Amino acid sequence: MNISELARILRISPQELKNLLPEFGFSVGKKAIKVDNNTAKKIIRDWPRLRREWENKKIDEEKQKAIEDLPKEKKIIEVPKSVSVRDYADLAGIPINRVLTELMKNGVFASINEKIDFDTAMIVGENLNLEVKEADNTLDEDDKEEKKLENILSKEEEGNLEERPPVIVVMGHVDHGKTRLLDTIRSTDVIGGEAGGITQHIGAYQINRKNNKLTFIDTPGHEAFTAMRSRGAKVADIAILVVAADDGVKQQTVEAFQIIKAANIPYLVAINKIDKEAADVNRVKQELSTELNIIPEDWGGKTICSNISALEKEGIEEMLDMILLLSETESGSLHANPNTKAAGTVIESNVDKAVGPLATILVQNGTLRVGDQLCFNGVIYGKVKSLKNYNGEEITEAGPSMPAKVLGLKIAPSIGDILTVGDGEKVKANKIKSRNNRNSAMYNTSSEEVADSDISKFNIIIKADFLGSAEAIEESLMKLNNEKVKVKILSKGLGYITEGDVKRAEDSEAQILGFNVKTPPAVETQIREKQITVKTFSVIYDLIKYAKEQMQLLIKPEINRIDLGSLKVLAIFRTENDNQIVGGKVVDGVARNNSFVEVIRDDNFIALGKITQLQSAKQDVKEVEKGVECGIKFEGKPVIEEGDILKFYQEEKIIGKL
Ligand code: GDP
């Protein structure tokens, strides 16, 4: 009998069976594909006992292994406020899988690159023979990153420093005109350009203003800014808080302002859409004062408020002058050393199907050049093959405050990652590690991540109107995770659904779930072309319900055997190469057409096949009951003999519930 056939009867994998046979005292070669029928019979007969022994042994081994993996004596480890599973395992000196299992037991379905907080680390540690202490003064990874850039800048000698353009970010509530303002400032129709595919969006651009350069971060919404801030990178020197004159202070205005305040950078308020009939600048100022404690200059406060119409290009010149003023008076020294190796921050990152990973770097110190080696977190990601500026033109170098699109990366970095330039040593494949992309795409999965590949995953990208809702959604989704299916959030961000989101969704076969966000028409075209599933919701409950339905579809069914009955073979009517027609009497239960058939002789399994035709009184029937004679067509190896017992069963797919 074929080993695979025997394995199927025993309901274990052929490989497991092969491994087991010697343990049970049956010697078979490693490459054997058959066992003799006597051996097979014996194994089938003894299987209930053998299985028990085997399972007990397995449990013992696992228990033993689980203990061996752990430190012999309680080990004290110090972990930061948050730590990736990988780093935790490294610190503890315990295999990652062991840590993952323990996390799962505690309802945490983390992947190796995901971070766990200190409390989780401590609870899990108890069962891993660890005493987990919070590391004193230990910088969280992200803080280290921030310090890296600060260190680079602080080590520069004053004599080497030169002035650099200010970097400006535009923030505010959706629809208040951020895109239009950036567009007007650039004096290029960004919205029209997007549809026509002329304007290059690389995440930032520069303009010249009275012999000064100004760099604008060109990603409307708070997403990029928040992402960069939360990774500890400081990119913007000045913020413009846009508030529509006809709409006033809204939820995202408040949130944008909190972000600006936390970043501790100078800002001005652009009161936009003053061309509109419903515009009421005074009302906006009133709301700014009462809700945000922003007192406009002309009301005796400190905050510059520029009345503008991004649409009619009104007040823009004056506003830009105010920005220059702010950069001179408030930003302090905006300096960098252009004559050194580049350091900067990733402000956009995606994977292009044709050219591979692409990232926009805002250079913050030094000069980035073609040929430079790109390192993030001390890991080599590739070499600059080409650099493009915000006009899509090839350039050979990018100096301080200049954004440049970089080609030549082996993997996509995350938004907010700090770039440093290496000294050119060769890229070693094993040095390119998978990293946690907290706010951006997760493009690369390392082989270790395959560990939980048995669990189906619902890959999603979340876009929401404000941080609170994104977090509430994430929290609710995480509660749906179980051992059969898991939600994998590849990125979560605020604001419009962007081209980057669509690319990311395409690369990782993810769906985009939006909450109170819009999709610009140009992006909508892409979504259609790439056939990405994008769903937007205005009620969190509906979003969660949809996610639940999708997860339900991903649950792999379990196969359950249902025994139907048996028949005693009384006559063989016809035997062909791959089928037999036999007659017999149902001795137990029923015989049912299209069911599986086990051929049993003297209590021993002989072969497996299927009934493809069932006749009673010369009529095709679906089922025949106990005591009735019938004829069946058996598809399978034609081994049936008179006197054999045919056992019928069906397999039922059981779809687990969430
Ligand atoms: P964002 O969501 O903040 O980026 O807003 P958009 O720039 O996409 O603008 C939202 C809508 O307001 C668009 O239809 C713009 O054309 C319109 N808009 C932007 N600025 C002005 C303005 O100054 N006046 C008027 N009347 N409409 C504007």
pLDDT in tens, 171-181: 888 889 998 99
Asked if residue 180 has its Cβ within 6 Å of ligand 1, the reply is yes
Residue 473: its pLDDT value, please?
85
The DSSP annotation for 256-298 comes to HHHHHHHHT--EEEEEE-TTSTT--HHHHHHHHHHHH---BGG
Task: Give the least confident one: 17-21, 134-138, 216-220, 404-408.
Answer: 134-138
181 Cα: distance to centroid of ligand 1 (angstroms): 8
495 Cα: distance to centroid of ligand 1 (angstroms): 14
Asked if residue 633 has its Cβ within 6 Å of ligand 1, the reply is no
Give the number of the atom of ligand 1 that is nearest the alpha carbon of residue 220: 4
Rg (CA), the chain: 33
| Contacts (Cβ under 8 Å, ≥6 apart) of 15 | none
469 Cα: distance to centroid of ligand 1 (angstroms): 24
Asked if residue 175 has its Cβ within 6 Å of ligand 1, the reply is yes
538 Cα: distance to centroid of ligand 1 (angstroms): 21
Secondary structure tally for the chain: helices H, strands E = 17, 33
Q: Using alpha carbons only, what angle is made at residue 185 by residues 180 and 188, rounded to the nearest 5 degrees?
A: 75
Quickly list H helices, 127-168.
141-155
Query: Mind listing the pLDDT tens digit for each residue in 576-626?
Result: 988 999 999 999 999 999 999 999 998 888 888 999 999 998 899 999 999
Q: How many residues does the chain have?
A: 658
Environment class of 535 (CB within 10 Å of its CB; exposed 0-12, middle 13-18, buried 19+) = middle
Given a cut of 60, whether residue 482 has pLDDT beyond it is yes
Bridge partners (DSSP) of residue 115 are 84
Query: Mind listing the pLDDT tens digit for each residue in 14-53?
Result: 888 888 888 777 777 767 788 888 888 888 888 888 888 8
Where is pLDDT greater, at 584 or 100? 584
Report whether 464 contacts 470 (CB < 8 A). Answer: yes
Give the number of the atom of ligand 1 that is nearest the alpha carbon of residue 173: 3
Terminal Cα-to-Cα distance of the chain (whole angstroms): 40
Asked if residue 219 has its Cβ within 6 Å of ligand 1, the reply is no
Pairing relationship of beta strands 418-422 and 343-352 according to DSSP bridges:
antiparallel
Taking the C-alpha atoms of residue 303 and residue 295, their distance in angstroms, rounded to an integer, is 6
196 Cα: distance to centroid of ligand 1 (angstroms): 19
Asked if residue 626 has its Cβ within 6 Å of ligand 1, the reply is no
Give the number of the atom of ligand 1 that is nearest the alpha carbon of residue 191: 8
DSSP assignment letter at 429: G
Residue given tokens 């491994």 in the structure block: 19
Residue 647: its pLDDT value, please?
95
373 Cα: distance to centroid of ligand 1 (angstroms): 41
Mean pLDDT, the chain, rounded, equals 82
Where is pLDDT greater, at 322 or 448? 322
192 Cα: distance to centroid of ligand 1 (angstroms): 13
Residue 494: its pLDDT value, please?
67
Residue 247: its pLDDT value, please?
95
Give the number of the atom of ligand 1 that is nearest the alpha carbon of residue 272: 23
Residue 445: its pLDDT value, please?
29
Substitution site in 184, 194, 311, 319 for ligand 1 pocket (most atoms within 8 Å of beta carbon): 311
Given a cut of 60, whether residue 291 has pLDDT beyond it is yes
The winner for highest mean pLDDT among 95-109, 224-238, 478-492 is: 478-492
| Contacts (Cβ under 8 Å, ≥6 apart) of 293 | none
Taking the C-alpha atoms of residue 105 and residue 157, their distance in angstroms, rounded to an integer, is 53
Given a cut of 60, whether residue 194 has pLDDT beyond it is no
Asked if residue 275 has its Cβ within 6 Å of ligand 1, the reply is yes
Environment class of 401 (CB within 10 Å of its CB; exposed 0-12, middle 13-18, buried 19+) = buried
Query: Mean pLDDT throughout 362-384?
Result: 88
Taking the C-alpha atoms of residue 8 and residue 18, their distance in angstroms, rounded to an integer, is 13
The DSSP annotation for 168-181 comes to EEEEESTTSSHHHH
Query: Mind listing the pLDDT tens digit for each residue in 643-658?
Result: 999 999 998 877 777 7
Give the number of the atom of ligand 1 that is nearest the alpha carbon of residue 312: 23
pTM: 0.51
Query: Mean pLDDT throughout 444-463?
Result: 60
Report whether 125 contacts 97 (CB < 8 A). Answer: no
Taking the C-alpha atoms of residue 160 and residue 157, their distance in angstroms, rounded to an integer, is 6
Q: Tokens for 449?
A: 């991540």
Going by C-alpha positions, the residue among 434, 438, 431, 436 that lies closest to residue 379 is 431
Q: Using alpha carbons only, what angle is made at residue 450 by residues 448 and 452, rounded to the nearest 5 degrees?
A: 110
309 Cα: distance to centroid of ligand 1 (angstroms): 9
Residue 430: its pLDDT value, please?
33
Give the number of the atom of ligand 1 that is nearest the alpha carbon of residue 172: 3
Task: Give the least confident one: 194-208, 261-275, 473-487.
Answer: 194-208
Given a cut of 70, whether residue 230 has pLDDT beyond it is no
310 Cα: distance to centroid of ligand 1 (angstroms): 7
Query: Mean pLDDT throughout 298-318?
Result: 94
Bridge partners (DSSP) of residue 200 are none
Taking the C-alpha atoms of residue 349 and residue 440, their distance in angstroms, rounded to an integer, is 8
Angle between helices 118-126 and 96-105 (to 10 degrees): 100
Asked if residue 165 has its Cβ within 6 Å of ligand 1, the reply is no
Residue given tokens 């809702």 in the structure block: 469
Taking the C-alpha atoms of residue 112 and residue 598, their distance in angstroms, rounded to an integer, is 45
Asked if residue 313 has its Cβ within 6 Å of ligand 1, the reply is no
pLDDT confidence band for 353 (50 / 70 / 90): low
Q: Using alpha carbons only, what angle is made at residue 206 by residues 335 and 313, rounded to the nearest 5 degrees?
A: 125
Report whether 74 contacts 130 (CB < 8 A). Answer: yes
Write phi, then psi, for 209 (nearest 5 degrees).
Answer: -145, 110
Going by C-alpha positions, the residue among 521, 513, 523 that lies closest to residue 493 is 513
Residue 226: its pLDDT value, please?
65
Residue 191: its pLDDT value, please?
35
Asked if residue 309 has its Cβ within 6 Å of ligand 1, the reply is yes
307 Cα: distance to centroid of ligand 1 (angstroms): 14
Substitution site in 169, 178, 180 for ligand 1 pocket (most atoms within 8 Å of beta carbon): 180
Q: Tokens for 432?
A: 């390119």
Asked if residue 222 has its Cβ within 6 Å of ligand 1, the reply is no
Taking the C-alpha atoms of residue 483 and residue 27, their distance in angstroms, rounded to an integer, is 37
165 Cα: distance to centroid of ligand 1 (angstroms): 27
Asked if residue 551 has its Cβ within 6 Å of ligand 1, the reply is no
pLDDT confidence band for 134 (50 / 70 / 90): confident
Pairing relationship of beta strands 394-395 and 379-388 according to DSSP bridges:
antiparallel
Substitution site in 169, 175, 519 for ligand 1 pocket (most atoms within 8 Å of beta carbon): 175
Given a cut of 80, whether residue 411 has pLDDT beyond it is no
Query: Mean pLDDT throughout 56-68?
Result: 74
294 Cα: distance to centroid of ligand 1 (angstroms): 23
177 Cα: distance to centroid of ligand 1 (angstroms): 4
Write phi, then psi, for 536 (nearest 5 degrees).
Answer: -120, 145
Quickly list H helices, 264-387.
281-292, 316-329
Asked if residue 176 has its Cβ within 6 Å of ligand 1, the reply is yes
Taking the C-alpha atoms of residue 10 and residue 14, their distance in angstroms, rounded to an integer, is 10
Asked if residue 250 has its Cβ within 6 Å of ligand 1, the reply is no
Asked if residue 488 has its Cβ within 6 Å of ligand 1, the reply is no
| CA-proximal residue: ligand 1, atom 11 (nearest) | 175
Taking the C-alpha atoms of residue 483 and residue 486, their distance in angstroms, rounded to an integer, is 7
| Contacts (Cβ under 8 Å, ≥6 apart) of 527 | 497, 502, 512, 519, 534
| CA-proximal residue: ligand 1, atom 6 (nearest) | 177
Residue 107: its pLDDT value, please?
60
Give the number of the atom of ligand 1 that is nearest the alpha carbon of residue 496: 2
